[in-house]
Amino acid sequence: MRLVCVLAGLLFSASTAGAALPPEAQRLEQALKELSGVKVDLLQRRSILITGEDVESRGILAFRPPQSFRLAYETPEPQELVVSGDSLWVVMPGEGQAQRYPFSVDAPGSEIFLLFGGKNGTLSGAFEIRQEAWGSYERALRLLPRNPEPGYPLEELRLVVGKNGLPEKLFYREVTGDTVVLSFLKYEKNPKDIEALTALRLPAGIQVIDASPPDLYDGLVEDDKP
């Protein structure tokens, strides 16, 4: 689920007044201004600290600013992550189950919802942005959260902007020590079927589980509630 916080949004509107953006961030900003939607072929590699295992996943990501988002994994097994309204849906056809979680773009870690224009916010409003070398990339962007809360879920955020001005590679480390590299392989800009690409579709007969946190006051009579 944290991946949705990482993917669903970066710099769709103008930068924060008085904040000079690095050149690579400016290229990204300009490219995103031209998007009303996007479909991307995605490759994800997760390195698990505890086991030393590397897990590779492939799928497609579709996004329509400011908030419609769908990530459909094809391998290693079908699974979908969909943001619909104030809910995040995790659809697992192989298990015959769909889980619904409350979702807010204001939650810690969801600043990355700005990656493709989410929330119509600005990257520079959520992050201090530095342009510096990273690995074999001479002009990567480093994103430093401006207001990290205790337990902030993401560390070492690095973004590489491609020749098309759109994200090419995103790296981050989770507080668990696991690292994730996302490669954006092929873009389709402003697809005509973007609404269908981002729509939530629940297979017939699938079990829906509400995974919202329990109400602290469940079981209390009305007079006992504060």
Mean pLDDT computed over 86-111: 80
Kindly provide the b/e burial profile for residues 157-181, where b requires at least 16 CB atoms within 10 angstroms of the residue's own CB: bbbbbeeebbbbbbbbbbeeebbbb
Q: How confident is the model at residue 93 (pLDDT cuts 50, 70, 90)?
A: very high
Tally DSSP H helices, then E strands, for the chain: 4, 12
Residue 196's pLDDT is 95
Confidence of residue 143 (pLDDT cuts 50, 70, 90): confident
220 vs 19, higher pLDDT: 19
Q: Categorize the per-residue pLDDT at 23 as very low, low, confident or very high, splitting at 50, 70 and 90.
A: very high
Q: pTM for this structure?
A: 0.78
What average pLDDT does range 188-213 have in this prediction?
A: 90
Show Cβ contacts of residue 142 under 8 Å, excluding neighbours closer than 6 positions: 129, 130, 131, 132, 134, 157, 158, 159
Q: Report, as an integer, the average pLDDT of 175-190.
A: 92
Structure confidence at residue 8 (pLDDT): 47
Average pLDDT, the chain: 79
More confident residue, 215 or 82: 82
Whether residue 140 has pLDDT greater than 90? yes
Least confident of 17-26, 80-89, 172-181: 17-26
